[in-house]
Structure 1
């Protein structure tokens, strides 16, 4: 198909692509071996399997693997055979679009004082009646006496972990200083440098999110076996974890804002920090440079941790400098809130939105980094 006048090209016509690198792998929660199939169109694989949530994977192409679906391969070869030989080489055409004029390029343009992306941005005051989950002041230091570390569990059996937040840069307001650890494009920040949250307001119901929807049968089919396995060890999944994974409107909400990170649930796994504890993988970045896990201490306490090790594949990995686990958030709901707020802020900065149009939650979060009247 030849396209004319698109935002990226005046004329665009795709060329021939070999069958084994043309198709995206199928991606659905309702098929355990979805990657074996090539995604076709309208929620269907090339071999005809249809699932309502099926799409093409953002994280891998299909074709050329030993376990690929043979029926998908037959269909892919049949489609490839329709390409005339004389159009397989040199058929592609791409004429870039002529740059369109922008308001900021016009003479006399004055950049709005509250345009996101300005280092000297002026934030409006947070409305007096607005109640956000971003605290105006940081809790007393004695609430967490071990600076840079957090504990999961009580007493001598507690697990002591280094603590950090792995997130977006939110530049120019929270630039990455290049110091310390980074997980690909997820930079790490000490907890005392990120906006403090009212952790007691996160009670597992995601009230700040809005309508979370009903449980999805194909998602409870994922969490039920994990719940059963944990029950044998006297443990249970927290309500906020189950809601994030199974509720219709929460399911994959992090994926939609995550810049390529995606929901991937697996477990329970034995913790390399304490074999009596359990971990459940639930989120990873697109290249598996960082994974987020629910950490379940054997006394019933839990938290969100992250690591650059995939413990679903390296189950024998020891705990040490080469495979550290980092405490990240006290609950799944708190983690989801901060992750979504930062993702939406990053998008708003990229799109040069106006600070006055921000949701009060985002405005209060950004005000932590911007001195002036907008700071809570």
Structure 2
């Protein structure tokens, strides 16, 4: 789904990148709300198989792993979506079912996979939400948004926590579009966190990071 076709305003919630010279990403706290239109293109072709991620290094610390709960709850989610529920993108199902992929994505803010066991109606737009990622302190939550006809999806972010068959824990009430697809979200999230760890912990920066940073500077 393109940002201009989404029923949500578009923003990217992430950490600052001022330390690598990106003026558009000042450090404003744990998370900043940055202009979606400023984001540079992603450095990999995305085909839904996460081939670009499988070649990256796995991590024991700071990975978004779920201690097996994502793999356990995925069949429950798929059952709750049938019949007549939202059609989950294959890329989403593939990622959630594969703990080796989870181990390759780190979070500088200790986010973790928090897969819900069922979809909830989106309060904005004619679609459904599936929570899949949560900030450790409950500051933000990320959701898969699937249109009612199942033909399009996106990733959205909000400080509201929606859960299957329970009352929502409300925040600002604002839901924001942050990625054109699930794989696009994982790719940008992975890359920006790797840039953070390279700066903060002096880890080796991915080879594609320099080009990404330079495009952002321009």
Instruction: Give yes or no for TM over 0.5.
Output: yes
Task: Measure the CA separation in 1 of the matches of 2:114 and 2:169.
Answer: 20
Task: Measure the CA separation in 1 of the matches of 2:92 and 2:200.
Answer: 30
SS at match of 1:225: helix
RMSD: 3.0
Q: Deviations over 1:33-78 (max 9, x none)?
A: xxxxxxxxxxxxxxxxxxxxxxxxxxxxxxxxxxxxxxxxxxxxxx
Change in Cα spacing, 1:161 to 1:198, as seen in structure 2 (3 Å) is farther
Q: How many residues align?
A: 202
Structure 1 contact 252–262 (Cα < 8 Å) conserved: no
Structure 2 contact 131–144 (Cα < 8 Å) conserved: yes
How far has the Cα of 1:277 moved from its partner?
1.9
**1:340 counterpart = 2:187:** no
Gaps of 5+ in 2: 57-66
Q: Deviations over 1:195-249 (max 9, x none)?
A: 12378x212100101269xxx9864431112112212224321111112211131
Q: Deviations over 1:158-186 (max 9, x none)?
A: xx2100111111223235458xxx7x611
Gaps of 5+ in 1: 1-143, 153-159, 372-376
Structure 2 contact 160–169 (Cα < 8 Å) conserved: no
Structure 1 contact 292–304 (Cα < 8 Å) conserved: yes
Structure 1 contact 295–303 (Cα < 8 Å) conserved: yes
| 1:139-158 equivalences in 2 (<5 Å) | 150-152=4-6
The higher radius of gyration belongs to 1
Task: Measure the CA separation in 2 of the matches of 1:358 and 1:218.
Answer: 30
SS at match of 2:137: coil
How far has the Cα of 1:322 moved from its partner?
3.1
The normalised TM-score by structure 1 is 0.48
SS at match of 1:226: helix
Q: Which has the higher contact order (CA 8 A, sep 6+)?
A: 2
